[in-house]
Structures are given as structure tokens and as C-alpha cells.
Structure 1
Amino acid sequence: MKTAIKVTGMHCASCKVLIEDIAGDIPGVQAAEIDFRTGEGVIEHDESFDLNALKREVAGAGDYSIETTK
């Protein structure tokens, strides 16, 4: 499964790496790819993925937020 996301609060490539690393630690996530310039990304995951867990972890890492997109 894939979920399209929009991340706000990223300013550089290090932010991208941080968010992708956090996503990779969430149970069920198989891959995460985010473009730090646009904030758009895709999370590949299985059925056990909890989007709210990802949102909490990302918000706890700094001034970031995640919303799903179409």
C-alpha cells in the first residue's frame, strides 16, 4: 500500500533524512521517500501502519507536521 503525504516545516536535506528515518522506524513502514523542496512524499506500508503514530513521532522531532494528500 502507498500513502501520499505532505510534510511542512522541512528546510533542508537533513530534515528530509530525519523524517524518512522516523518513518522507517514506524511499524509497518517499508519505505519512505520525501522531496524536501516540495514537502511531498510517499510512504509504502502494510496494513499495520498507523498514520497517527507517524504524525506524533514527526511532530515530536521538531516543527514538522504531516497531512495525507490524494
Structure 2
Amino acid sequence: MFCGDPGAPGYAACEHQMTIFAIASTIPAMLAMVLMVAAFATPAMRVDPALRTRTLTYAVMGWAIAGGTLLMGALPSL
């Protein structure tokens, strides 16, 4: 989001909100990373291709949620 000039009133609150969005996007990103590692490193996932596919699908959805959250924090407010 666009916070305006650094000296403008409310700039610090806007910067804080952008930081919150950035931190919030790391939560689904870390979950997606754990799922991707588990899909390739866990022996049970190697045996069952359907389970691996499902796990990778959930990982992609986690990356999409993380990207959407990060994008919402970076877009200018309307």
C-alpha cells in the first residue's frame, strides 16, 4: 500500500501495517515449504504418488495464499 511521504501524518501506522502483511505472508510460505520438503523427503510420500500429488497441491495453494497476502500489503490503498 502507498503510505505517502515519510513526514505525513499516519505514515508510521501505515508502515507498521505493511510490516504486519509481510510477516503474515511468511506463515503460509513456511507451511508450503514444509509440505514441499515432506513431499520429496518422506518415505511414505515416495510410495504413494497420489499422496505426493495432494501434498504438492496443498503446497502450491500455500504459496498462492502467501503471494496474495504479500500482494495485498504491497498494493496501494484504493
Query: TM-score, structure 2 length as denominator?
Result: 0.29
More helix per residue? 2
Please, what TM-score do these two structures have when normalized by structure 1?
A: 0.32
Which one has the largest radius of gyration? 2
